[in-house]
Amino acid sequence: MKREKIFSLPPNVFFAGLTSFFNDFSSEMILSVFPAFFKAVLRSGAESLGLVEGLAEAASNFFKIFSGHWSDRLNKRKIFAVFGYALSTVTRPFYVFVSTVAPVIGLRLTDRVGKGLRDSPRDAIISLSTPAEQLGRSFGYHRAMDTAGAIVGPLVAYLILRIYPGGFNKIFLTAFVIGVFGVISFLFVTELFSSLPKKEMIKTHFAAFSPRFKMYLLATFIISAGILPTAVLLLRTQDAGLVIADIPLFYMLANIAYAAFSPLAGKLADRFGDRNVLIGGYLFLIATYAVLDFSAHVLILFIGFVLLGLFFAVTDGVSRSYAGRLTTPEVRGTAFGYLNAAAGFGALIAGIGGGFVWQQFSPSLALTFGICILVGGTIFFAVTQQEEMF
């Protein structure tokens, strides 16, 4: 018997969103204090932070290809997602024992491997659970829940650091407990199976995708190469003379803007088209870098991180729904794997290169390079995603 909807959403979409709320509550607690943790405990800066985040994204992307492809071949997606969430969660208490950058690389790699295992199969479940005309709404809801957790997490981290200065261990242990709830929530998701015979499902090689989807992947890679890690951008707050405990608040600010606008972004995509909405989102990020490059005054930082949140709101869920419209159900997991990989390998370049330029030269130069890459990538996306080209 078909399960009733929950708050007008398919049950799988609802529970996947609930899982993302708890998981991001947990993971963003840690990520929001990374700049402070690197400075106060690890005695490192933007270069090390960018290296850690860049390598972590590379590991994540390799497994995103693997998980998407094999979830399609095996016609099983839930097991990949559950194991991925669990793997990420178990890394969090081990930050208590680290005092140098090297162990952090190992923990972040393991955490991101978990993300790589879960993201593509989870996105495929959401896509397969939703009618085509409501894809934007479902992914918008999922992103909003994801970001709601990302708001609460940094807020809790801020409060812990205010009450217990230097209390990073309390943050790591709290994050672990919250993450366990996320794993439990995903157990309520129902497995979905493709109606195609298994022998047909193995034909998920790259050549099977349309030219338009391939150009979309290339555009995603170029644009992602210009997206500096948020943890690195948060270092800009140091130039404003803020105390370490205040850093998570700006991460929370970006996520508030993200959560507030995510559902509307999905509806706009359904009404006006994913391509147009994505272009608008890329312009938000270009404006973000221009603002952050202009000044490190608190008010300017406020505007910059609001714009950053709008960028994520407009592009994160919509990029997935757009990929869903360009591909067929039987290869949906593989398609999301390639999409996530394109974004992640671009992020590898942005993390390592951007962090190096930020620390060795200046934040302004890193932001300028980012703007140049984003402008080129946006133009490439706009041109190659025109309907009349295919």
pLDDT tens across 88-115, in order? 999 999 999 998 899 999 999 999 889 8
Three-class secondary structure assignment of 65-122: HHHHHHHHHHCCCHHHHHHHHHHHHHHHHHHHHCCCHHHHHHHHHHHHHHHHHHHHHH
In 3D, which of 127, 67, 110, 82 has the Cα closest to residue 334?
A: 67
Choice between 277 and 201, residue whose per-residue pLDDT is larger: 277
**CATH number of the CATH domain containing 350:** 1.20.1250.20
Does 171 reside within a domain? yes
Mean pLDDT of the chain, nearest integer: 85
| Dist. CA 331–CA 304, nearest whole Å | 38
In 3D, which of 43, 54, 384 has the Cα closest to residue 219?
A: 384
Q: Which amino acid type is present at position 245? A: A
Bridge partners of residue 43, in order along the sequence: none
| Dist. CA 100–CA 104, nearest whole Å | 7
pLDDT tens across 42-54, in order? 888 888 888 898 8
Does 15 reside within a domain? yes
Choice between 354 and 263, residue whose per-residue pLDDT is larger: 354
Helices in the chain by DSSP H: which ranges? 11-40, 46-74, 78-91, 101-128, 135-163, 168-186, 198-201, 211-224, 230-233, 247-272, 274-294, 298-326, 332-360, 363-384
pLDDT tens across 191-214, in order? 766 554 444 444 556 667 888 888
Does 5 reside within a domain? no
Count the domains in the chain: 1
| Dist. CA 81–CA 125, nearest whole Å | 10
Least confident of 1-10, 174-183, 294-303, 322-331: 1-10
Query: How high is the pLDDT of residue 1?
Result: 37
| Dist. CA 348–CA 363, nearest whole Å | 18
Query: How high is the pLDDT of residue 205?
Result: 64
Query: How high is the pLDDT of residue 108?
Result: 92
Number of Cβ atoms within 10 Å of the Cβ of 121: 29
Does 264 reside within a domain? yes
User: In angstroms, how far is the first alpha carbon of the chain from the final one?
Assistant: 41
pLDDT tens across 116-173, in order? 888 878 888 888 877 777 777 787 788 778 878 888 999 999 999 989 988 999 999 9
Does 2 reside within a domain? no
Does 201 reside within a domain? no
Angle at 211 between CA 209 and CA 215, to 5 degrees: 105
Please list, in sequence order, all residues whose beta carbon lies within 8 angstroms of the beta carbon of residue 241, skipping any fewer than 6 positions away: none
Maximal C-alpha separation, the chain: 62
Query: How high is the pLDDT of residue 88?
Result: 94
Does 319 reside within a domain? yes
Residues 130, 10 contacting (CB under 8 angstroms):
yes
pLDDT tens across 13-48, in order? 888 889 999 999 999 999 889 888 988 888 888 888
In 3D, which of 293, 323, 326, 351 has the Cα closest to residue 31?
A: 351
Residues 52, 105 contacting (CB under 8 angstroms):
yes
Full DSSP string of 285-312: HHHHHHHHHH---HHHHHHHHHHHHHHH
Q: Find the domain containing 380 and state its range.
A: 11-188+206-389
| Residue 258 predicted with pLDDT over 70 | yes
> Average of pLDDT values for 295-324?
87
Q: Which amino acid type is present at position 66? A: F
Does 198 reside within a domain? no
